[in-house]
Amino acid sequence: MRAIWKGAVSFGLVNVPVRLYSATENHDVQFRQVHREDGGRIKYQRVCSIDGEQVSYDDIAKGYETDDGQMVVLTDDDLAELPVSNTKEIAVDKFVPSAQIDPLLLDKSYYLEPDKGSAKPYVLLRDALQATDRVALVTVSIRTRSTVALLRVRDEVIVLQTMLWPDEIRSADFGVLDDAKEVEPKSAELAMAGMLVDSLSGDYDPDDYHDDYEQAVKEVVRAKLEGNEVTPLPEREDEGGEVLDLLAALQQSVNRAKKSRGEPVDEQDAPAGDQHAAQDSAKPAKKAAKKSAAKKSTAKKSTATKSTATKTAAKKSAAKKKSTSTSAAKKPAKKPAKKAG
């Protein structure tokens, strides 16, 4: 790496000479505009929007456009009096707890390397930051502009991160957020969401993530250079489906996470809250089933009672007829009446 800036960190009466290096680099795929037929690069000419004339670089000045559309031309003399800082000092203003810095304020990152002979004060500052779990708020001038930054420790190296100004952070002004204040997730949904978080929990490993788009572009370019046909990349299978409600979506997500980890999936898996909800919803059905069964049982008993009564009545009738018949058979015949005189 090549140092882009040299200066010194100062805190109190301690001075630490350092070199500044860019900690990140951009790997975004860059395309050039070219002529389709021969691949020649497209060039642009500097043309005035008013008279249409081509303008040389020496005749180009800086202009500031106001909110109402007026263009103010500024000369080098106008800009000479601006508060431009060329200091090579990284001045520590204060040491603050790390938790007080909103990550949204952080901008670009740089490594600080101690200059020769300044290793001891460098290590002293680094170890003090680690021991107190604080970051150093500093002011620094990089490329003539003064800005606020912080110093923190990463992998035993002091890192300088420039910060945005507070008015550069946009407000999250969304009307839907006002409506969301009245939204209350159900206990079963919260329990299922907790299961999903647990199933997707793990440690961050940078090697797990790759820029698939960059790799695909390089493969296409390599195939073109070698004169081969470009092989289309296989499309990912859509594992999604129609989800009827939030709880079902969470359940499907938990199952999918388990499958990706090779864990057994229980389709009946549900949090306690969901089980209680299912049990509650099943109660009316159980009651109805019990009532229906009771009615059937009562009907059977009634039928059995009627059948028993009918049989008993039939038996009684038969017994009565038999008794009458037997009684008639045993009764002696009446004697004939005597004739008169």
* Cα dihedral sign, 320-324-325-329: positive
Residue 132 lies in a domain: yes
pLDDT tens series, the chain, 341 aa: 889 899 999 988 889 999 999 999 888 888 899 999 888 999 989 999 999 999 999 999 999 999 999 999 998 888 887 766 677 899 999 999 999 999 999 999 999 999 988 999 999 999 999 999 999 999 998 877 789 999 999 999 999 999 999 999 998 888 777 777 778 888 988 998 998 888 888 888 888 888 888 888 888 888 888 887 666 656 666 555 555 577 788 788 878 877 777 777 765 555 444 444 444 444 444 444 454 445 445 544 444 444 454 455 555 555 444 444 444 444 444 444 444 43
Residue 93 lies in a domain: yes
Can you count the helices (H) and strands (E) in the chain? 7, 9
pTM here is 0.62
Element (H, E) at 62: strand 62-65
Write out the residue range of the structural domain in which residue 130 sits: 1-25+87-169
CB-based contact 131:174 (threshold 8 Å): no
List b or e across 62-81, with b for residues whose CB sees 16 or more CB atoms inside 10 angstroms. Answer: eeeeeeeeeeeeeeeeeeee
d(CA 197, CA 263): 15
Kind of pairing between the strands at 157-163 and 89-97: unpaired
> Are 19 and 111 members of one domain?
yes
Residue 236 lies in a domain: no
> Are 275 and 138 members of one domain?
no
Residue 135 lies in a domain: yes
> Are 16 and 152 members of one domain?
yes
> Are 157 and 252 members of one domain?
no
In the chain, how many domains are there? 2
CATH of the domain at 142: 2.40.290.10
d(CA 16, CA 116): 10
Residue 258 lies in a domain: yes
